[in-house]
Structure 1
Amino acid sequence: MKTLSILALAALACSVTHAQQKLVPAQSEISFIVKQMGVPLDGKFGKFDGQIAFDPAKPEAGKINLSIDLSTAVVGDADTVKELRKPEWFGIAKFPTASFTSTSIKAVGAGKFDVAGNLSIKGISKPLSIPVTLAKTGAVSVAQGGFTIKRGDFKIGEGDWADTSIVAGDVQVKFKLAVTGL
């Protein structure tokens, strides 16, 4: 009976630790780079959120869900931002968010992880594997990484905009996610 109570308390303590993990948006960033006519354009998303249940000692039990408000994308000038909201690009009216949901997390070295999951944009979901580096500074842990997507895979830039000679097909995405409770 005593052993069962101790195990139950330990399980409760673990679940409380995971429940307290919070993304700190003010210290986090999701950015992207796309080339238009060969010139790099830097952009970023102003609003995103996530649910994180992760223990670096047991990464395989972790789960990460991120949601990105596509209407907060900023790149180039005001006309470019307006263009991004149109159906040919992000289609904000129909698809206001993009999401990433992990399917597995594996340790690949000290503070390094491979996070596999599904990236969904415009109702299209594609598998993605992301190398992530995790570093702890005081009460905040910072996960950093990046990956490249093909915008055509998600129908970002349809119709005349599908031509990759004007806007490149590759989009580099970089992130820095500050998390408390890890």
Structure 2
Amino acid sequence: MTVSRLLVSALVAASALSCTLALAQQKLVPAQSEIVFVSKQMGVPVEGRFKKFDAQIAFDPAKPDTSKIAFTVDIASATLGAPESDAELPKATWFNTAKFPQATFQSTSIKGLGGGKFDVSGKLSIKGASRDVVVPVVLTQSGATTTATGTFPIKRLAFKIGENEWADTSMVADDVQVKFKLALTGVGKF
């Protein structure tokens, strides 16, 4: 092998390694992030949130189709802000956190739409049920922080959230909006 070929091979390997290391250094900043869910109870919007969640991210804005995102939410961290309601959420009728402590999302494809907008398709699993979802995401950058925001709908009954007498959608609507703001570090410029 000639010296120039060896040098080119070393540069290619270093470039691939630096790209891999950059992707490996992407981190969620929980203190600047939030996941909120909004449902309607007797027609009135009620907002809840999850206090604990984590993400494993390998996102390249220049090559979104090669990127992967995995999310884990500690379901027992759900709160509606009222002690009586918060005591009900972990029970089997609602989230059954003893049997299903986590909800997960695993991306299957990411499509760039331009202007910092992406469609992230994947599997959302809650309470033992998995569904395909498409999550629209908008990215903005400020300094070293990239913020991903978006909203997507789910049907709570598709995930068995609110069983038995709570399956009646006249009390608690089936439609739930999931809203998120995720602060990330280590994402390349786009």
What TM-score comes out, normalization by structure 1 length?
0.98
**Structure 2: distance between partners of 1:118 and 1:132:** 16
What secondary structure does 1:15 align onto?
helix
Please, what TM-score do these two structures have when normalized by structure 2?
0.94
Count of matched residue pairs? 182
Residue number among 6, 22, 31 corresponding to 2:11 in the alignment: 6
Structure with higher strand content: 1
Give yes or no for the alignment of 1:77 onto 2:62.
no
Amino acid at match of 1:99: T
- Aligned counterparts of 1:166 and 1:78: Cα–Cα separation in 2: 20
Q: Which runs of 5+ in 2 are unaligned?
A: 1-5
Residue in structure 1 matching 2:130, options 122, 125, 137? 125
What value does the CA root-mean-square deviation take over the aligned residues? 0.7
CA distance in 2, matches of 1:44, 1:110: 29
For residue 26 of structure 1, the aligned residue among 31, 40, 57 is 31
Given that 1:118 and 1:127 are in contact with CA atoms closer than 8 Å, whether structure 2 keeps it comes out as: yes
Deviations 1:60-98 (A, max 9, x none): 111000100111111141111111110111000000110
What amino acid maps onto 1:38 in structure 2?
G
- 1:136-175 equivalent positions in 2, closer than 5 A: 136-175=141-180
Secondary structure of the corresponding residue to residue 88 of structure 1: coil
Shift of 1:2: 1.8
Q: What is the rounded CA distance, in whole Å, between the counterparts of 1:148 and 1:76 in structure 2?
A: 22
Read off the aligned partner of 2:167 and give its amino acid letter: A
Identity level (%) = 58
- State the Cα distance separating 1:4 from its structure 2 match: 1.3
Q: Which structure: larger Rg?
A: 2
1:19-98 equivalence runs, <5 A: 19-98=24-103
Per-residue displacement from partner, 1:9-57 (whole Å, max 9, x unpaired)? 0110001001110000000000011111111111110010000000111
Measure, in 2, the Cα distance between the counterparts of 1:107 and 1:175. Answer: 19
* Moved >3 Å (runs of 4+): none
